[in-house]
Amino acid sequence: MSPLRVLPALLALSLASVFAAEPQPAVVFDMGGKFDKSFNEGVYNGVERFREETGIAYREFEVTNETQREQALRKMAQRGSDPIVGVGFAQGPAIETVGKMFPDTRFTIIDSVVDLPNVQSVVFKEHEGSFLVGMLAALASETGTVGFIGGMDIPLIRKFACGYEQGVKFVNPDAQVIQNMTGTTPAAWNDPGKGAELARSQFDRGVDVVYAAAGGTGIGVYQAAADADKLAIGVDSNQNHLQPGTMLTSMVKRVDVAAYNAFKSGADGSWQSGVQVLGLAEGGVGWALDEYNEALVPAEMRAQVEQAEADIIAGKVQVHDYMQDNNCPD
Amino acid sequence: MSRAAGVLPFWVDVLLIPLLNIGLAFLVSGLVIVTIGENPLEAVRLMVYGAFGYEEAIGYTLYYATNFIFTGLAVAVAFHAGLFNIGGEGQAYIGGLGLGLVCLATDQTLPFALIVPLMVLSSALFGLLWALVPGYLQAYRGSHVVITTIMFNFIASALMVYLMVNVLIEPGSMSPESRSFAESAWIPSLHGVLAMAGTHITPSPANVSLLWALVCCVFVWLFIWHSRWGYAVRTVGSNESAARYAGINTRRVVVFTMCVSGALAGFVALNEIGGVHHRLLLNFTAGYGFTGIAVSLMGRNHPLGIVLASLLFGALYQGGAELAFEVPTITRDLVVVIQGLVILFSGALAYMLRPLFERIWLQLSQPAAVTTDA
Domain ranges (residues) in chain A: 22-124+256-278, 126-252+298-325
Average pLDDT on A37-46 reads 87
Strand-pairing partners, residue A277, are A123
CA-CA-CA-CA dihedral for A172, A178, A183, A189, to nearest 10 = -40
Q: Per the CB < 8 Å rule, is A62 touching B332? A: yes
Burial of B358 (C-beta count, 10 Å sphere; 0-12/13-18/19+): middle
Decide if pLDDT at A8 tops 60.
no
Contact residues, chain B, for A68 at CB < 8 Å: 321
Say how far apart CA B243 and CA B241 lie, in whole Å: 5
| A184: nearest CA partner in chain B | B158
Contact residues, chain B, for A67 at CB < 8 Å: 60, 63, 205, 272, 276-277
According to DSSP, the β-strands at A247-253 and A285-287 are antiparallel
| A58: nearest CA partner in chain B | B328
Q: Where are the extended beta strands (E) located within B19-173?
A: none
Q: Per the CB < 8 Å rule, is A184 touching B332? A: no
Say how far apart CA B201 and CA B190 lie, in whole Å: 9
Contact residues, chain B, for A326 at CB < 8 Å: 169, 171
pLDDT of res. A146: 97
- Angle (CA) A16-A20-A25 rounded to 5° is 125
pLDDT of res. A302: 95
AA identity, residue B210: L
Contact residues, chain A, for B272 at CB < 8 Å: 66-67
Whether the CB of A323 is below 8 Å from some CB of chain B: the reply is yes
Optimal mutation site among A110, A185, A277, interface B, most CBs of chain B within 10 A: A185
Decide if pLDDT at A16 tops 70.
no
Q: Per the CB < 8 Å rule, is A75 touching B325? A: yes
Contact residues, chain A, for B324 at CB < 8 Å: 61-62
pLDDT tens-digit readout, B284-333: 998 999 999 989 988 889 999 999 999 999 999 999 999 999 888 888 88
Q: Per the CB < 8 Å rule, is B175 touching A92? A: yes
Element (H, E) at A251: strand A247-253
Instruction: Count A/B contacts: CB-CB distance under 8 Å.
Output: 70
Q: Per the CB < 8 Å rule, is B286 touching A154? A: no
Residue among B154, B281, B321 minimizing CB distance to A68? B321
Rounded to a whole number, what is the distance in Å from the CA of B232 to chain A's nearest CA? 38
**Per-residue burial over A25-42, b = 16 or more CB atoms within 10 Å of its CB, e = otherwise:** bbbbbbbbbbebbbbbbb
DSSP-derived 3-state class of residue A147: strand
Rounded to a whole number, what is the distance in Å from the CA of A65 to chain B's nearest CA? 6
CATH architecture of the domain formed by A22-124+256-278 = 3-Layer(aba) Sandwich (3.40)
Hey, do A22-124+256-278 and A126-252+298-325 end up sharing a CATH topology, with the first three levels equal? Answer: yes
Q: In A, residues 13-72, which contact B (CB 8 Å cutoff)?
A: 33, 60-62, 64-68, 71-72
pLDDT of res. B6: 60
- Angle (CA) A282-A87-A39 rounded to 5° is 70
pLDDT tens-digit readout, B15-26: 888 888 889 999
- Domains belonging to chain B, first-starting first, are 1-35+331-374 (no CATH), 39-328 (1.10.3470)
Contact residues, chain B, for A154 at CB < 8 Å: 161, 165, 175-176
Confidence of residue A244 (pLDDT cuts 50, 70, 90): very high
The closest of B189, B173, B167 to B274, measured between CA atoms, is B189
Q: Per the CB < 8 Å rule, is A67 touching B177? A: no
Whether the CB of A78 is below 8 Å from some CB of chain B: the reply is no
Contact residues, chain B, for A71 at CB < 8 Å: 60, 321
Say how far apart CA A231 and CA A225 lie, in whole Å: 6
Of the listed ranges A33-47, A202-216, A242-256, B108-122, the one predicted with least confidence: A33-47
Q: Per the CB < 8 Å rule, is A92 touching B174? A: yes
pLDDT of res. B242: 95
Optimal mutation site among A64, A75, A327, interface B, most CBs of chain B within 10 A: A64
Q: Per the CB < 8 Å rule, is A67 touching B205? A: yes
Whole-prediction pTM value?
A: 0.84
Say how far apart CA B255 and CA B139 lie, in whole Å: 7
Q: Name the CATH topology of A126-252+298-325.
A: Rossmann fold (3.40.50)
Rounded to a whole number, what is the distance in Å from the CA of A301 to chain B's nearest CA? 34
Rounded to a whole number, what is the distance in Å from the CA of A249 to chain B's nearest CA? 27
Rounded to a whole number, what is the distance in Å from the CA of B138 to chain A's nearest CA? 26
Q: Per the CB < 8 Å rule, is B174 touching A89? A: yes
The number of beta carbons lying within 10 Å of the beta carbon of residue B217 is 21
- Residues (pLDDT < 50) of chain B are 1-5, 369-374
Q: Is the dihedral of CA B29, B34, B40, B43 positive or negative?
A: negative
Rounded to a whole number, what is the distance in Å from the CA of A62 to chain B's nearest CA? 7
Decide if A86 contacts A99 (C-beta within 8 A): no
pLDDT of res. B177: 87
AA identity, residue A180: N
pLDDT tens-digit readout, A258-300: 999 999 999 999 999 999 999 999 889 999 999 999 999 999 9
pLDDT of res. B363: 86
Whether the CB of A210 is below 8 Å from some CB of chain B: the reply is no
DSSP-derived 3-state class of residue A312: helix
Rounded to a whole number, what is the distance in Å from the CA of B94 to chain A's nearest CA? 15
Strand-pairing partners, residue A123, are A277
pLDDT tens-digit readout, A147-194: 999 998 888 899 999 999 999 999 999 999 999 999 877 778 888 999
Q: Per the CB < 8 Å rule, is A156 touching B277? A: no
DSSP-derived 3-state class of residue A126: helix
Q: How far is residue A163 from each of residues A290, A328, B160, measured CA to CA in Å?
A: 23, 9, 26
DSSP-derived 3-state class of residue A303: helix
Q: Per the CB < 8 Å rule, is A62 touching B324? A: yes
Three-class SS string for B224-276? Answer: HHHCHHHHHHHHHHHCHHHHHHCCCCHHHHHHHHHHHHHHHHHCHHHHHHHHH
The closest of B284, B258, B257 to B269, measured between CA atoms, is B284
Q: Per the CB < 8 Å rule, is B165 touching A323? A: no
Burial of A328 (C-beta count, 10 Å sphere; 0-12/13-18/19+): middle
CA-CA-CA-CA dihedral for A238, A58, B54, B66, to nearest 10 = 0
Contact residues, chain A, for B281 at CB < 8 Å: 66
Contact residues, chain B, for A61 at CB < 8 Å: 324-325
